[in-house]
Structure 1
């Protein structure tokens, strides 16, 4: 079953490359963007829900602090009171949908990576990259820059921790792509570009919400 799935993706990549003038690299980027754009309405909605949850939690912080002082060292009593407060304001765990998205993305991503690996043997060059079967330093820098842009644009991340936290995924993405075949790095780049789009759309929605509340 898995091999059929990978073979199907590999065939799709070959057809896309043929339709794009024989460019395997362009086909990889196109496939990555198609997959992420198909999931964008879902992931954007989850990101907006996460932003609303963060804003609500920030507003409830004084009440949570008061509950912590009230219950002292009784951790169970505090947990029950905090849970009741969260429920009162419609704050759920928020993990179910996120896990479902991961459950969908993980096998698809793994299958695409396997299909790309199969096609790398016959892949040639792309843009400045001489061989898609080997890592490329400039591509790693490009993916790191896209990761940085997505995190910087994300309004759900508090400004006081953004500088510290944004460097970890940026560094991780750079090191990973630098040690991957460039063909796989191109998939990462295509996906990261949609992440930037998602962060920009979320930022726009947040601004619209703020504007409408101010007008009201």
Structure 2
């Protein structure tokens, strides 16, 4: 079943390349954008719910501090009181929608990466990249910049957290893409570009719908 799934994705890439004047690199980017755009409503909703939950937790911080002080000598009672407070304000574990997104993305992403890995062996050049089967430093830099820009637009990160962590996704992206075949790096770049759009949309929705209510 898995090989059939990967072969089907490989066929999609070949068809996209045919439509895009034989460019396998353009086909990889197109597939990345199409997949992320198809999942955009789900991922945007999940990100929005995560931001809203974070704001609720921040609002409850004084009450949580009082509960910890009241039940300082009884961890079990403290945990029960905290759970009761969360239920009172409609706060759940926050894993439902996020887990659903992960369950959809993980096998799809693995299948697409396997399909691209099969196809790059026979792929040629794209833009400045001489061979899609080899890593490319400039592509790694592009992905790192896209990750950095998305982080700056993420409204779920406080200024302090953003300062502490702003270079972590950039460094990870640089190191990973630098060692990947450029064809796989192009898929990462396309996904990162859509993620940047998602963060911009989330920032706008947060400002227009929630900031006045918090």
1:39 matched to 2:39: yes
| Corresponding residue for residue 18 of structure 2 | 18
CA drift of 1:73 comes to: 2.6
Structure-1 separation of matches of 2:147 and 2:134: 21
- Residue by residue over 1:43-91, the C-alpha shift from the partner in whole angstroms, topping out at 9 and shown as x without a partner, is 1001010111011100100000000000013111111111111111111
Kindly tell me the number of residue pairs found equivalent between the two proteins. 214
| Corresponding residue for residue 166 of structure 1 | 166
Q: Which structure 2 segments of 5+ residues have no match?
A: none
What aligned pairs does 1:45-64 form with structure 2 within 5 A after superposition? 45-64=45-64
Structure-2 separation of matches of 1:19 and 1:154: 35
Structure-2 separation of matches of 1:71 and 1:2: 52
Q: Which runs of 4+ in 1 moved over 3 A?
A: 210-214
- Residue by residue over 1:127-186, the C-alpha shift from the partner in whole angstroms, topping out at 9 and shown as x without a partner, is 110110000000000000011111110001111110212211111111000000000000
RMSD: 1.2
1:91 matched to 2:102: no
Structure-1 separation of matches of 2:19 and 2:3: 24
Structure-2 separation of matches of 1:170 and 1:80: 40
After TM superposition, the score normalised by the length of structure 1 is 0.96
1:101 matched to 2:101: yes
Structure-1 separation of matches of 2:41 and 2:210: 21
What aligned pairs does 1:1-216 form with structure 2 within 5 A after superposition? 1-210=1-210, 213=213
CA drift of 1:211 comes to: 6.5
Give the 3-state SS of the residue equivalent to 2:60 in structure 1: helix
Give the 3-state SS of the residue equivalent to 1:91 in structure 2: coil
CA drift of 1:111 comes to: 0.5
